[in-house]
Chain A
Amino acid sequence: DSGVTQTPKHLITATGQRVTLRCSPRSGDLSVYWYQQSLDQGLQFLIQYYNGEERAKGNILERFSAQQFPDLHSELNLSSLELGDSALYFCASSATGNTIYFGEGSWLTVV
């Protein structure tokens, strides 16, 4: 158990819909990262937050957004979903930016 908690574990939704994925980082970790894993793109960095502020942006689509709240939990919002958005979405956290710990992921299926 990495200490990073993600919900929901599995989600099936229709094209055009919007979903929110939730992440609780390890206790005390200020950095939260979101990653997407798909068969064709592999593991891709989406976005990083540090203590509530956006720190770095990767390959995140404009239809996706994220935020980190004062209690340090984070949410990734995915809107206008397309079939190609089906993927495993990981949240990760870190205290120092060195070792990064991943949650178990949220499996999203868009039908």
Chain B
Amino acid sequence: GIQVEQSPPDLILQEGANSTLRCNFSDSVNNLQWFHQNPWGQLINLFYIPSGTKQNGRLSATTVATERYSLLYISSSQTTDSGVYFCAVSGGGADGLTFGKGTHLIIQP
């Protein structure tokens, strides 16, 4: 199956800082999503982005499918951005999403 690697595993930043989270995947994908898991365990969709670039407020994402990676950018971080960010992919057909191990982000006030 597809392998998903996320980096860095942990990231501690001050409020207001910017960050870039990376997701590498081992094969072609037809679905790539970024999720934020908050401290209460909820998994919240951020982007559906199998290719291209999208922006939503302070967050943006870029997937370069030909090079098998995706980046999530968080600008002007707030403490509410803390949590774990997951990249999840699937390669097509009848397939569930394969999740990476996540990036644990802590934003300090």
Contacts and interface: CB of A to CB of B under 8 A. Distances in A.
B41 to A, nearest CB: 6
Contact of B42 (A33, A48, A98, A104): A104
Given A97-B31, A98-B31, A99-B33, A45 B41 contact: no
A107 B93 CA distance: 30
Interface residues of B, number: 20
A100 interface: yes
Interface residues of A, number: 25
25 contacts: A2-B44, A33-B97, A42-B99, A42-B102, A43-B99, A44-B99, A45-B96, A45-B97, A46-B96, A50-B94, A55-B94, A56-B94, A56-B96, A90-B43, A97-B31, A98-B31, A98-B48, A99-B33, A99-B45, A100-B33, A100-B45, A102-B35, A102-B42, A102-B44, A104-B42
